[in-house]
Structure 1
Amino acid sequence: MGLPPSANESHASKIRHEDLVAFSRLVGNDYRAMGAALDATATMVAGKFNLREVRAGLLVHASDARYEHTVTTQMEKNQSLNFSIVLSGGWQATLGGTSLASGAGPSATTFVLSEPDLWQKHAVRGGHARMVNVMASPEWLEASILDGSGADSVSMASLTRRHRLHAHWRPSARLVGLADRVLGTPLYAAGLQKLYLESRAIDIVLESLSLLVESRYPAGSSGRPGDHRRMWAVRERLDHATHETPSLSELAREASVSTRTLQRQFAAVHGIAIFEYVRSRRLDRSRRLLEREGISVAQAAYEAGYSSAANFATAFRRRFGLSPRQARDGV
């Protein structure tokens, strides 16, 4: 199905729900809003919002906008390498059941989809994001960057095959400047503007990839190399804790740091407090159990670590924009 002309180049001040449906076809399939009955003409985003394919397999999304609804949308996102540069505000999402979020203040996030996967975006009414996202398909990467020669090319190719790999760091001044220029007023006529956006997108891809290839702890982030290795090990430990979450003291002992240092370094490396990360993972898991297994709200509250079903429901609605019962019933 073809896209309407506006879906590939719109920068309108108001983006309707039907516009987002059209935009979604550029990046994936089976888009839908969860737990909300939205009219096709409902305004979803107010402000600057532009998504366009500047070259086959290379997309640029620029947004300086406010969310008009609290809603979770989901889709099957295409195989791609994704780069997000957030200048202010931020975003929250779930990739294949794993929580992702931008950090506070200027932040950069990269995540890899070596195969199509479930992507859920969580928007809160009144929330704002000033950011640039660049999405590159495997075909574009292979034709443009991964020529197969040299150690760097081999390392980049290996990175693009690591499904759900994600990294978060503090962007360099150059990356911030590139994103700011993408968001700025067009400098050229329409035809040249597309070329301008393509060149800025390529610069973002190259700088981000070079940082990821150089080390697991990208340059520009705070902390020493050892801190980053330890905190990634802690995060992986939490990600693989399917039943009982290890205590702070246990995690600190395994990382050979104090509990206070653990909390400080985890937040510095991952852009989120360790308590918030654990809570978000528990809420994500409870939602999957509600939607896929139809467990009771009381069971879901227990699985999420809440002794009070009312407190659980409040936290659940704050995160997802719908009640646990609505999630279970598919409303």
Structure 2
Amino acid sequence: MTITLTMQEDWELWEEANQNCLQPSEREPFEIIRQMPKQLGQGYIRDIEVHPELWVMIWDCEYHDDMLMKISEWNHPLEFWVFLSGKIIDEYGGQLGEGYTSISGSGVQRQMIVKSPKSRRVGVSIHTLPDVLVTFFPDETGEIPQQLRLLDKGNDWQTLLYPETTMAIQGIAQQIINCPFQGMTKRMYLQAKVLELVALQLAPILSAQNKLQPSPRLKPDTIARIHYAKEILLSRLENPPSLLELSQIVGVSDRTLRRGFKEMFGTTVFGYLSNIRMEQAEQLLREGKLSVAEVANLSGYSQQGHFAAAFKRKFGITPRECLSGKINILAS
């Protein structure tokens, strides 16, 4: 027998089964145990918050029937999965379990059907938001490192990866399940093991990123909104909106706006604005009708020295040299 459920139906069954579940105990205030709906089988999920917005879930659920789940399009968080027993296969060929782990990036999950045979599922899953990556793995600017940005797609299609299971990954998953500690020591131990598990799953991806298939392109609607944002910047060079204001005007998140500019124009929103302003400044100086101070002000610089430094970085000469007609420009 095969049971077919939508995401909503599955969620409602779990909610109904746990309406009267106990709140976290004083001993483990960061852990909740959810019982599996009897209509589906027997078992439980232990939800443990190891860090703000970082959860590990320990699964031990035995399904009585084959399962077919209809996944709708939705905004998916960032998840890492390891099964020690049981498996799930999606309609595109991705497999979790029996030799493969799963990394589900943050972004829009495609509509799909996933199926799993009657089995006992034992494993762990890690659930978080991409901002947590900045907490543990920031780059020099305090942003998500370039190598990990495939895990944060915002309003675009998420990245789905299925790294192979290794003995090391199995070992860490087993240690999480069999954590020997209690209280705060347990939380500290699990936080370290969660980060270790994430590192092990990401290691082959980071070391061979050039071998990955290209991630899905931006949605046509998102591309149109990014172009709209560019036109707004061009029309308001002297008084541009902030990044947050611009994202609200065009109807995308500020993170999607930043990523879209990087993918489509090869630079950040600020970098694009700065580049256009510098090209305009160079043209105005060549015309010779305005002073360096006036051009700096039109370019959004209140400090003439800052303007001169930015101008020289781009063109290889100072604004005064440009104004005087020097032509050995080293445009970048």
- Give TM-score, length-normalised by structure 2: 0.47
Q: Which has the larger radius of gyration?
A: 2
Q: Which fold has the larger relative contact order, with Cα–Cα distance below 8 Å and residues 6 or more apart in sequence?
A: 1
- Give TM-score, length-normalised by structure 1: 0.47
